[in-house]
Chain A
Amino acid sequence: MVLLCVVAAGPAGAWAQWLNYPTPGIPRLASGAPNLSAPAPRTPDGKPDFSGMWFANVPSRDFCKEKDCIQEERMAREQINLGIKLKDGLPYTEWSKEQMKARRANGGREDPHAYCMPPNFPRAWTLPQHSRIVQTPGMMVVLHEFNAAYREVYLDGRPLPMNPNPSWNGYSTGHWEGDTLVIETNGIRDDMWLDIQGSPVTESARVTERLKRVNFGLMQIEISVNDPRAYTRPWSVTIEMALIVDTQMLEEICIDNEKDTRLYQK
């Protein structure tokens, strides 16, 4: 009955797709609301289970009196500037500063994302589309709504590849340090942007993501980038991801109706 009430309380369009369909098997309060403060779930072998839908932990607010600001969206500040929480910002090399100066002068119009290129990690964590983690003992798969993309993280102990062919997601392996899953990635492309302001990352980068599920509803990801071409020293930022329940992933195929880049013409 509680679940029925949860469903019935959904907004208009609640029965379209499974936008408001209760996720089974999750801890709930007496009201039927998900108990997001419950302990983090674990796999049968005792490891934290990161499986679930995730979105940047952005406070939800309604800025408009009548809730009709069409462009209002939940969005991580790191989407604009991944180093926004660092006191001195990201430690760009002179080469990176030149890249960003040119990108800024052009209004950010060369951002591969604007041309529907894939959502690369770690940027994808900050985008306003959802991710879904599917965790198995030997592999973590991360699905992303933008372009219905996927990413593999091998947990079977294999080493990172030597001189791999560069790709948008690179090549990722993961190992456990206590309850933290440490994901190492190499083999990413030279032409990716880490954020809208154009922070570069190059093929020389080693990216480390340290995933920690704080409780049922919250995950922390410490993102570390060691890229001597783009940054004067290794740096780390921590972002938070909120578990999203009682809904589903929805595909967002960017090339389907991309009409903004035509407006860049002068």
Chain B
Amino acid sequence: MKNGTSHLARLSTLLGLCLALVPAASAHHSQSEYDLRAKVDVEGAVTKVEWKSPHAWIYVDVTSDNGQTVNWSFELPSPVTLMRRGWTRDSLKPGDRVKVTGAPAKNFPTIAIANFIRDESGKPLFTGTTQINEPEAETK
């Protein structure tokens, strides 16, 4: 386990940028249930993937230095959004080792919203794009 529940005084520049620009990840809720200024950074094995609307969830067994294992819940965007960015229901499977960075729920110690998911070497497991065909706006 790596710094599983530490709350950082400030976010990394990258994470801060993402959160600032995306104040409501999927429009389904205000995200006030999360402490978006704090950070969760854990490593472990995926135990379950819920590929359902309005948000996909992944569950990760995280073992601390003293050998205790805790099952974390991480909220992702909707499967629809993820599929449009090239991800599939099979992109993550139980048993996969992942490093997850996110923001913790305010009142639940093992629930967080995921912002980055990487493999053990730090390589992004999910990369996508929001790039689509779009017209030029004519009024501003």
Contact = CB atoms under 8 A, between A and B. Distances in A.
Interface of A: 11-13, 16-17, 19, 33-34, 36-37, 57, 59-75, 79-80, 107-109, 111, 113-114, 116, 127-129, 145, 196, 214-218, 220, 238, 240, 242-247, 250-254, 256-261, 263-266
B17 interface: yes
B30 A250 contact: no
A214 B127 contact: no
Interface stretch (B3-11, B21-29, B39-47, B63-71): B21-29
B30 A107 contact: yes
Contact of A215 (B18, B30, B55, B135): B135
Contacts of B76: 70
Interface residues of B, number: 63
A57 to B, nearest CB: 6
Nearest to A111: B30
Interface of B: 14, 17-19, 21-30, 32-34, 50, 52-57, 75-78, 80-81, 83-88, 105-108, 111, 113-118, 124-139
8 contacts: A17-B83, A19-B83, A37-B135, A37-B136, A67-B128, A70-B117, A216-B135, A252-B54
Given A34-B133, A218-B135, A220-B139, A79 B113 contact: no
B115 A71 contact: yes
A114 B108 CA distance: 19
B130 A74 contact: yes
A259 B25 contact: no
A13 B80 contact: no
Nearest to A216: B135
A217 B30 contact: no
Q: Main secondary structure on chain A at its contact with chain B?
A: loop
Nearest 8 interchain pairs by C-beta: A107-B32, A217-B135, A108-B30, A257-B52, A68-B124, A11-B86, A263-B33, A114-B29
A56 to B, nearest CB: 10
Contact of B14 (A17, A65, A79, A264): A65
A75 B23 CA distance: 10
Nearest to B14: A64
A127 B27 contact: yes
Q: Main secondary structure on chain B at its contact with chain A?
A: loop
Nearest to A244: B132
B19 A71 contact: yes
Contact of A36 (B28, B56, B133): B133
A28 to B, nearest CB: 11
A71 B18 contact: yes
Contact of B135 (A57, A64, A68, A238): A57
- Which of B53, B128, B131 has the largest number of chain A CB atoms within 10 A? B53
Contacts of A265: 107
A263 B53 contact: no
A97 B136 CA distance: 36
Contacts of A242: 134-135
Contact of A13 (B86, B108, B113, B124): B86
Contact of B55 (A145, A218, A259): A259
A139 B114 CA distance: 43
A145 B54 CA distance: 11
Given A16-B88, A68-B116, A218 B25 contact: no
Contact of A12 (B34, B77, B88): B88
Nearest to A107: B32
B21 A63 contact: yes
B129 A67 contact: yes
A248 B104 CA distance: 34
A38 B74 CA distance: 44
A61 B129 CA distance: 8
B12 to A, nearest CB: 11
Given A75-B27, A107-B30, A260-B29, A60 B131 contact: yes
